[in-house]
A and B are shown apart, each in its own frame.
Chain A
Amino acid sequence: MKMKKLLAAGMLGALLLVSGCEPASSQSDFYAMDTFMTVTTYDKNEKTAEDTRVEIEQHINGLDQLMSRQREESELSALNAANGQPVTVSDELYEAIETAVQYAELTDGAYDPTTAPLSDLWGIGTDHEHVPTQAEIDETLKKVGWRNIQLLGNNTVQLLNGAQVDLGGIGKGWAANDAAAICRMAGDTMQALAQLGGNIYGIGKNPNSEDGTWRIGIADPDNSASSVAVISMTDESVVTSGDYERYFMQDGKRYHHIFDPSTGYPTDNGLRSVTVVDTDSAKADALTTGLFVKGLDKGLEFCAEHDIKAVFITSDKRIIPTENVLPQYTFMGEEAGYIDAR
C-alpha cells in the first residue's frame, strides 16, 4: 500500500511540475487619459483576476471622464470654463486638485498644474505646433501659476487670472494608485502590472520572475523602445518624463512638451529624462516633471532633501541614479553609448 501511495504522489508531482503552478492571468489593452494602457492581473482564481482587471479599466475610464481637460463634458472642463467663478466639484476632483497644488508647492512651482495655456499656445503634438512670439508667451504666462488655484474648502475651487487646471501631470499616477488599491482590495493573492502610458505600477510579486520583482526599463531617450537601465521593484511605481516623444524640431532645435513655468519655453537644461520610483505614483508623476524643470543639480539636491529615488539622464549621455535607488538599479546603457555616472 505504501509503495502505491508513493507512486501516486510521484505521478501527481510530475503532472503538477509540467502543468505549472502559475496563477491565472487576465490582460487588456485600452485607451484612456490620452494614452495607451495595458493592465495585467494575476490570481490563483481566474474569475478574480478577470473581475479585478475589468474593475480597474472601468475605474480609469471613470477618472478620465472626471479629470480630462480635453473632454468637454468632464467636471474639470466645467471648472476651467467657469470664467473665474467659484465652482463646487466632487470629492475626488477636489482631492486631486489639492494634491496637485501640494506638489506644486513642494517643488516651488517647478511642477505646475496650470501650464495648459502654454501647451495650447505651442501646440506640441498637434497640427499647429510652432514657436510663438515672445509677446504671445508673455501674454500667456499671465495665466500660468499654481497660486491662481484657490481651494476655498467645501469642495469649492476658484481659478484666478484666467488660469486653467490640467491634471495630466498627476492623472495617470492617480489612476495607477487607484489600480493598486483595487488590487489590494481583491485579496492577498492578487498580483498585477499596470502600464498606464509612462506610469508603471507593479502590485505584489511578479509571477514570471524568479525573485518576484517586476523589472521596469528606463527608456533610452534616443530610442525609447529600448532600455538603458532597469529598476527592480515590488509594490512600487516607476514613472519617467522626457523630452523625446512629444516634440518638434525647428532650425535644429528640439521643442518638447515639458514647459518651464517661469519662462514659458520648453525646459532646456541639459536633461533628457527623469525617472522617479515611489509607492505613490501621483507623487512620482508630479516629481518627474518637477525634477526635470529643476535640472540636474537642483534636482539631486531636492531628492537628497526629500529622500526621493530618482534616475536622471543627461544630453551628454550620463545616467545618474540617486544613492537610495542603487539597490534596485541596474545600468545597461553601455551598448547605446551611455555612461554609468553613479
Chain B
Amino acid sequence: MAANKKLNPVDVLSEIEAKFEMLQILNEKGEIVNKDMDPKLSDDELVELMTRMVWTRVLDERSTALNRQGRLGFYAPTAGQEASQIASHYALSEGDYVLPGYRDVPQLIWHGLPLTKAFLFSRGHYKGNQFPEGVNALSPQIIIGAQYVQNAGVALGLKKRGKENVAITYTGDGGTSQGDFYEGINFAGAYNAPAIFVIQNNNYAISTPRELQSKAATLAQKAVAAGIPGVLVDGMDPLAVYQVTKEARDRAVAGEGPTLIEALCYRFGPHTMAGDDPTRYRTSDEDSDWEKKDPIVRFRTYLEGKKLWSKEKEDEVIEQAKEDVKAAIKEADATEKQSVTELMDLMYDVKPSNLEEQYEYYKGKESK
C-alpha cells in the first residue's frame, strides 16, 4: 500500500468539481452530439415526447393569459422548462410517485391529473388536490424543499413494499439551500431508497441569482456529501434529461439507491403571476441567450430532420391543447365554489367538538 501522500483539500475540491461536467446529447442546433448516450427512443416515443412539450407550452401561454384575465389564481409559469419537467417525467413508469414543487404542475398532468383539477388547484379549490385513483402524487408543494424529505419517505415505503417503482421530486436552485434538501438526499441515501431528486436550476430563486445560493461550482456535486450519484445535465435538452432520469430510475429499481440530478434550465417568464418583474433582476441579453437554447426549438429541428415532425403536426397539437384548455376551464367554472363548512368537514377524520360548535355559525354566514 502506498504511503498516504499529503492531501490538499483545496485540490480535492477542485478535482471533484471538475468532474461534474454538463451532459448534453442534443445541442442547440438540434444535432446529436453524444451518440453513445442517445436514449434511442422509438419514432413514436420521440413524437409523443415532443407532443407533450408543445402541448405544455400552449398550456403555459393560455394559463398566463387566463391569469391576466382573472380567470386563474396562483400560477407559476413553466415556459423554458419543458425538457427538465416533461422529459424527466417521461422516463417514469406506471406506479411511480411524483412529488412536485409549485411550478411542476405539468408533470402532474402528464402523470394523469385532469387539467380541470390543475385549474382548480390554481384557483385554490381543494378539489384540485383530490387526485383520481392511480395518480401516485402529492399536490404541488408551496414550502420550498419540503417535498424532498417526503420523497425519501415515499421511496422508503416503496422499498419496504418491494415494489419496482421510484419516487421522483423536484425543486429549484433556491431549494438546494433549504435544510430539507440535505435531509432528503441524505435520508434517501441512508436507506438506499429508490428516489430521484431533480434540481431544476433555472438560475434564479425569484430574483436571487444562483451564485448567491452556494459557493459550490455545481449543485449536482451536493450529492457527493450524501454519498449518492449526482448528475449535471443540460436541462434544455430533452434527450439528455430523459436519459439521465432513465438511468437513475434503472439504478433505483435495481436496488442501487437514489440519484440527484441538476438540470440547467431557464424560466422564460416571471417567477409567478403575482407581480414578479424579471426585468428588475435579469437582462434582456440573458433572456435572449437562453431563448436560443429553447428545448422545443432544438427538438423540433431534430425531429423535422428525421421527418417525424412538421408545422401541420405542431399546429394540430397546438389546436388540441387550446381545445383541452377551453374544455377544462369550462368544467372548472362549473365547479361549485368551496365553502368554509366544507373545509371544516375536511379538517379531521373525526370532527372535534370545537368545529361542531362553530359549524352552524358559518352555515349561516355562508347563506348571507
Please indicate whether A and B come from the same complex rather than being unrelated chains.
no
B residues neighboring A (CB under 8 Å) = none
A residues neighboring B (CB under 8 Å) = none
